[in-house]
A and B are shown apart, each in its own frame.
Chain A
Amino acid sequence: MVIEKFTTVRSTAVPLPIENVDTDQIIPARFLKATTREGFGDNLFRDWRYDKAGNPKEDFILNQDRYSGSILVAGKNFGSGSSREHAAWAISDYGFRVVVSSFFADIFKNNSLNNGLLPVQVSEAFLQTIFDMVEADPGTELEVNLEQQQISIAGTDHAETFEINPYKKECMLNGYTDIDFLISIKDKIEAFEQSRT
């Protein structure tokens, strides 16, 4: 799998001011029957996005033309529940490259980082500022700079730094994957196995 390098993203944002968005909402279990990684974006937030007949629900954010962009901004505790990596695939496949929230569930965060989707954790106050400004003006752009670990609201003084594990940052900046790293140290893994017996 090839991971796109991540340096900076500047984009308008899609606001989803709901807390505790679980992975069953992001991608319901009945859409997990595929055996490839592609195409999950079509069913992203399926039951919030479409009615039973498959028609778009007008009140859902992804169905509103005024919001678009590659940054999803969501309420706290985003991605709780199941370990399904399909949640990260669905968000990426839809076209998002960044998810901003004031709190992320652990497994979702790992899965996102393993797929070049950057989870950016901000303070609750900053999250509220983003929601307020994006809702007031959907043309508001956010800028995410991974090298500087900074997120800002373009054209304003509003900015915050965010945390990311230095190893994971290096991976994201260069498009490296954990699996390539692990394969490169296989001799060490074999030596570890020997040392245990």
Chain B
Amino acid sequence: MAGKTLFDKVWDAHVVQEIEGGPSVLYIDKHLIHEVTSPQAFAGIDARGMKVFRPQNTVATPDHNVPTIDQHVTIHDELSRFQVNKLTQNCENHGIELYGLNHPYQGIVHVIGPELGITQPGMTIVCGDSHTSTHGAFGSVAFGIGTSEVEMVLTTQCILQPKPKKMRINVEGELAKGVTAKDIILYIISQISTSGGTGYFIEYAGSAIRSLSMEGRMTICNMSIESGARGGLITPDATTYEYIRGREFAPKGEAFEKAVQQWESLKTDEDAVFDRELTFAASDIQPMITYGTNPGMGTKISGNIPAESDIEASGQKSFKKSLAYMGFEPGVPLEGMPVDFVFVGSCTNGRIEDLRAFSAFVKGKKKADNITAWIVPGSKQVEKQAIEEGLDKVLEAAGFELRQPGCSACLAMNDDKIPEGKLAVSTSNRNFEGRQGPGARTMLASPLTAAAVAVTGKVTDPSGLIQ
């Protein structure tokens, strides 16, 4: 019998029951909830007159809807305020731990789970948010679910899921100067498309992946969903253990050492078989940016937007529709395009390492006059650490300001909307039409690229500008 993959090992250990010809009943270790996709689930539980089955396994925080200015005062938008208050009320009624606004642990669900040590190797983790795949960076099986499934987890701590197929993506070799985790994942999606991962769970492997910090690995796993995959995961190693050690909810002392021993077994067996395997050379990857209206429409910054002749016949219609929305011509160079907004933040790139990368680049430089920049930490902890490290001062001196934590302009549910027609370079995960505000145009890139753009005021490859 062939060996097991890392994914198989974690999944199989959580199967309560297999249904003949159907999905598996999968037990969930950790459930994260936020204000937008949970109220209808609680309404369902309340309508049945039931209580949350294992309230200690769920953690809540408001993130999607919260303002990033004066959030400690009040939420002015009535509907947003109602939704956030509803979360508080539901958590109180059902005994769920809530990190509400002003709590030192509040932040984007996928930033706080790892930084508090809630996310650990070998766990199953779900949340009513597609970027739950982020937590796979720790060797957990983590994926986004719909609200009906949120209700299932609250009611029974289980969901019904068909077991996905398995893909391994290897990235081998050394990364070039200026190439970051964000560039790797944008490159991968540009190669396999936004549906290339559909039906699969992806294991990322290879020397370039192993060389990444936990923050970088989270960026990679976070965007698995943009390839259509439910999730992605990476074998835990010393980098993982060192990140987890000492965090609030991580095991401590002897219990930690014991946990590490157990985590050591979480790796793909040598004779395990994947349904699909791809290998990319790190040396082929350059700083990336998207030019279209889905995350698969990306290319190297130093390159051109594809010409119509580069696109297959079946894709012509979408390609033209996409460029028409962006107001771009096919075949033209990307570098030098004037930009209006820069957004740094989100569950993809709102962690401390991302703020460090941005700050290090802009240190001693000045924000371009044509740029409006929103720098949004992923959590209160990130905000605190950034201030402790003096990053707020560096940013201020260069003409930037640090806002308060939340999902912000990534999906523009709060007031942080890119105005109609304006062009934004964003470190977030989706460049869909209107994603950052009605009529807003988005180009996805790394925090380092965002920094270069913020300083030059136009699309810029950062690699020539760093030491």
Interface residues of A (CB under 8 A from B): 1, 17-20, 22, 24-25, 28-30, 32-37, 47, 52, 75-77, 80-86, 88, 103, 105-107, 110-111, 114-115, 124, 165-168, 177-179, 181-183, 185-186, 188-189, 192-193
Contact = CB atoms under 8 A, between A and B. Distances in A.
B259 to A, nearest CB: 15
Interface string B168-206: 000000000000000000000000001100110000000
Interface stretch (B347-355, B356-364, B432-440, B456-464): B432-440
A19 B306 CA distance: 18
A22 B432 CA distance: 7
Chain B interface category by residue count: 35 or more
Interface in B113-152: 128-130, 132, 144-149, 151-152
B40 A37 contact: yes
B222 interface: no
Given A32-B413, A106-B230, A115 B148 contact: yes
A103 B193 CA distance: 13
A88 B146 contact: yes
A83 B82 contact: no
B148 A114 contact: yes
A1 B44 contact: yes
B412 A30 contact: yes
Contacts, number: 183
B80 A33 contact: yes
A107 B20 CA distance: 22
Contacts of A82: 129-130, 411, 430
B294 A83 contact: no
A19 B354 CA distance: 33
Interface in B313-364: 314-315, 317-318, 321
A47 B230 contact: no
B47 to A, nearest CB: 8
A37 B148 CA distance: 11
Contacts of A111: 146-148
A18 B22 contact: no
Contact of B155 (A103, A183, A188): A183
